[in-house]
Amino acid sequence: MTSTKTHPNPPLKVALFNGLRRRCPRCGEGQLFRRGLKTHERCSECNLLFQRDYGDTLMFMIITDRIPILFGIAALYFGIHPNGWASTVFFFAALSVPLLATLRERQGLALALDYVLRVKLSDPSDELHAASLPSHSA
Ligand SMILES: [Zn+2]
């Protein structure tokens, strides 16, 4: 792999927007998903490793899942009480259809959040920061 181009880290908003568009959070060019929810390991354009640690992304996946569900719970709490099977079915459809329809966008956002966190934490063992460190030959 010859990635001689350097890619500056984009501002937070750009990185998150790229994730929502299901593109690489760093360069905004490479596709995140191979098919379904299968992600590419690296960006085809800038060679960014998308998931350094699966657990990190999982945390953001859970966050981006739970926030929409919270709206449903809030709706129930603040007086929307489906009575009868038709309105109950409608209520759960209104909750779950947008959740399922935006699965890839939310996973893209989760990957982008993970990327932003990696940039902020500047963990020296992360290859993101390996290039910016003063070189100490091994
Ligand atoms: Zn990229």
Please write the tens of the pLDDT for every residue from 29-59: 999 999 888 899 999 999 999 988 777 788 8
| Ligand 1 mean position, distance from CA 76 (Å) | 41
| Ligand 1 mean position, distance from CA 98 (Å) | 28
Q: Hey, which of 10-24, 72-86, 100-114 has the most confident mean pLDDT?
A: 10-24
Distance CA 36, CA 17 (A): 20
| Ligand 1 mean position, distance from CA 5 (Å) | 11
CA distances from 108 to 29, 46, 59, 102, 112 (A): 13, 17, 13, 10, 6
Please write the tens of the pLDDT for every residue from 104-137: 999 999 999 999 999 998 788 888 877 655 545 4
| Ligand 1 mean position, distance from CA 67 (Å) | 27
| Ligand 1 mean position, distance from CA 28 (Å) | 6
Q: Where do the domains of the chain lie?
A: 12-123
Q: What does pTM read for this prediction?
A: 0.77
Distance CA 80, CA 52 (A): 42
Query: Rounded mean pLDDT of 86-106?
Result: 88
Give the per-residue pLDDT at 2.
45
| Ligand 1 mean position, distance from CA 111 (Å) | 12
